[in-house]
Structure 1
Amino acid sequence: MPPTLYPRTTLKKIIKAHSKRPLSRNVDVLIFLNYALFMQELINEAVIKSKQGGERGVSGKSVKRVSGGVLRKYKG
């Protein structure tokens, strides 16, 4: 079995405690993939914003500027 990037059982327990609904078998995988896509888009938007602002690299300021828009896209 290949190593996992996160503890599946711990994540499932956390999700189950907060959802109070029945969960599918691979819900933890779907949540992790959604998180990875969110982080990728957040960084990409921050890179674009920092280049437009004339910055040399990505800063916390550029991440904060784009976080609201990216969060709105991923709101469920």
Structure 2
Amino acid sequence: MAPGQKMYPRATVKKIVKAHSKCNVSKNVDVMIFLDYVLFMQTLIKEAAIDSKQAGERNVSAKSIRKATPDTLAKFKG
């Protein structure tokens, strides 16, 4: 986390998720959401790196990320 930034309050995250889903949420739902987000980003970057290597690029570009996004989103759709 960058210096000077505060973490998002856990209670606020729980309230947002509860209001959005209209269901009761568990005690550690914010941690699970964060871990799912990290796993999603890791998978997205890995897929984008594969796409950029196949295209002959040296670095991961926005184009390769856009190309990998639909497949990665489909994997994480719940």
Shorter chain as denominator, the TM-score bin is 0.7 to 0.9
Residue 49 of structure 2: which of 42, 47, 52 is its match?
A: 47
Q: Residue 16 of structure 1 corresponds to which residue in structure 2?
A: 18
Root-mean-square deviation (Å): 1.4
Q: How many residues align?
A: 73
- Which stretches in structure 2 are left out of the alignment for 5+ residues? 1-5
Shift, 1:8, TM fit: 1.5
Identity of aligned residues (%): 60
Q: Which residue of 1 aligns with 2:68?
A: 66
Determine which of 30, 36, 39 is the counterpart of 2:38.
36
**2:70, 2:18 → 1: CA distance?**
27
| TM-score of the aligned structures, taking structure 1 as reference length | 0.87
| 5+ residue gaps, structure 1 | none
User: 1:17-66 CA deviation, whole Å, 9 max, x = no partner?
Assistant: 10111111111111110110000000011011101100110111000101
- 1:10 CA displacement: 2.1
TM-score normalized by structure 2? 0.85
Structure 2 counterpart SS, 1:44: helix
